A and B are shown apart, each in its own frame.
Chain A
Amino acid sequence: MHYAFHFNVVWDHWRDLAEGAWLTIELSAIAMTIGLVLATVCAYGKAAGPSAIRWAIATYVEIIRNTPFLVQIFIIYFSLPALGISVGANEAAIAAMVVNFGAYGTEILRAGIESIPHGQIDAAKAIGLSRLQTFRHVVLFPAVKTIFPALASQFILLMLASSVVSAISAVELTAATNSLVSTTFRPFEFYFVATGLYLMMALAFRAALGGVFWMVFMRGQQV
């Protein structure tokens, strides 16, 4: 078998690829932000909430972490209209990514929270900090610092998993690539380029998250 590569076809369609890559970045960034808020709320609820809330959060986390992402996306996209809620593909994709990241993020944050020595929390109570103040300053901040690498990896996984949302017609990078493959019949050229773009975006996200880590946790600290 011989296959002649024609990479000039890719350049003819760079606009479609760039638009797809940009939507991947947008979906990922929005889902990361909202997902982190959701994970933080759930981690707090799991650490300090009443037992009914703890039980509800544990159920949510286990259901999401033990079912395929693709199935979660299909359920959100195809079942919401039946409930009378009209959502577009992009909104459904973000909702699915937030719900998915929220569950993994909750568990990652929980691990960080459990790494905080109990004496530190007792000390915070002793100096009169409220429960929320204790959580924010004494628990969450050092916990996030400890688990930041795991959190960053989960962010990258979320960005890569966004390729699945092409299944519900969101035109992100994988969808754009699939469309171009099916209209130009140059699969290898486009899949190679898409692979390169995903790699570049993952490295860029990693660098940006490293920058956030330095800004929030390292700057101004003398070791």
Chain B
Amino acid sequence: MRICLKHLGMVVAAVASVVLTAHTASAESTLDKILSAKKIRVAIDVANPPFGILDKSGQPDGSDVAVARQIAKDLGAEIEFVQVPSTGRIPALLAGRADVTIASISVTTDRAKAVMYCNPNGALSITIFAPQSVKIKTPADLVGKRIGITRATLEEATVPKMAPEGTKIVWFDDLASTVQALLSGQVDAAAMTAFAEKTVADANPAKQLENKLLVTTAFYGPIVRPGDFELRQWINTWIFINSRNGTLATIYKKYTGIDLPPLPTI
């Protein structure tokens, strides 16, 4: 019943926030509220290694979490993590459960219709990932194969477009389920970030999992609610400072093991 409750919670939160806050729209900005309450609520996805994970003691960790902690520290605010599945990253923000979502949300024009992106703070590649025995060399080889993807991710936005007709795309609600489907043979291959693939391949050497096809490379950044220009401007300033002083590069390298590529701005 976990999912039922989650959805019920979202609907209740939606009704409550629409009803309660409809007429306070012109009050103080989200940034003002964070500064005066000395508390920032950050939506994170801890099922998305290496960006968001739970460490051995069950505490949130990962590159997104490290960035969020540093942002809160520089705001002088206490951090409250709002843990969401990948499908909840935008709804939690829109429902007002979080002030900002920092969950490696790659920049797409469709998402930008619903939320405002801050400048990118990292980059990721999506590839098709399968056991060695599965023959995939070109997109045409996907025909007839079951490809697992996770909802509300960059793979969902890109894989159906590149896969030829006849590919059987299978959707899961979170990355853990997609990975489990690949490991148990419920899908022939799965699409995910190259980093997630490394974590999965390292944990399951017997499966001989390998990268098959590059789908896309994209930049990701924090998102805020439409109209929260003050908060976006502050975060952009933070990204500017910390990409120049090396903090972002250090965090990225620590968790992904590769160098941070030069970051463009929006």
Chain A interface (Cβ < 8 Å from any Cβ of B): 1-3, 68-70, 74, 77-79, 81-82, 89, 160-161, 163-164, 166-169, 171, 174-175, 178-179, 181-183, 185-188, 191-192, 194-195
The DSSP consensus for interface residues of chain A is helix
Q: How many Å lie between the Cα of A175 and that of B156 in the bound state?
A: 14
A191–B10 touching, CB < 8 Å: yes
Alpha-carbon separation in the docked complex, A109 to B171 (Å): 37
Distance in Å: Cβ of A99 to nearest Cβ of chain B: 16
**B-side interface residues, number (CB < 8 Å):** 41
Q: How far is the CA of A81 from the CA of B182 in the complex (A)?
A: 11
Complex Cα spacing A166 to B172, Å:
7
**In the complex, which residues of chain A have a beta carbon less than 8 angstroms from the beta carbon of B225?**
1
Q: Which residue of A lies closest to B150 (CB)?
A: A182
Residues of B within 8 A of A (CB): 1-4, 7, 10-11, 14, 17-18, 21-22, 25, 87, 90-91, 94-96, 110-111, 113-115, 148, 151-152, 156-157, 170-173, 177, 180-181, 184-186, 225, 227
Judging by beta carbons under 8 Å apart, are A168 and B177 in contact?
yes
Q: How far is the CB of A178 from chain B (nearest CB, A)?
A: 5
Q: Provide the residues of chain B in CB contact with A191, threshold 8 Å.
A: 7, 10-11, 14
Please classify the interface of chain B as helix (H, G, I), strand (E, B), loop, or mixed, using the class held by over half of its residues.
Answer: helix
Give the CA-CA distance A187 to B87 in the complex, in Å.
10
A163 and B177 alpha carbons, distance in the complex (Å): 16
Question: Taking the nearest CB of chain A, how far is it from the CB of B188, in angstroms?
Answer: 12
- The residue among B2, B21, B173 with the most chain A CB atoms within 10 A of its own CB is B173
Q: Decide if A187 touches B186 in the complex (CB within 8 Å).
A: no
Knowing A164-B4, A167-B177, the reply to whether A195 touches B11 (Cβ < 8 A) is yes
Given A68-B2, A78-B186, A182-B152, A163 contacting B171 (CB threshold 8 A): no
Q: How far is the CA of A163 from the CA of B185 in the complex (A)?
A: 23
- Contact check: which of A68, A161, A164, A171 meets B171 at CB < 8 Å? A171
What's the minimum C-beta distance from B10 to chain A, rounded to whole angstroms? 6
- B87 and A185 contacting across the interface, CB-CB below 8 Å: no
Q: Given that A164-B3, A174-B3, A195-B11 are known contacts, is A1 also in contact with B152, CB under 8 Å in the complex?
A: no
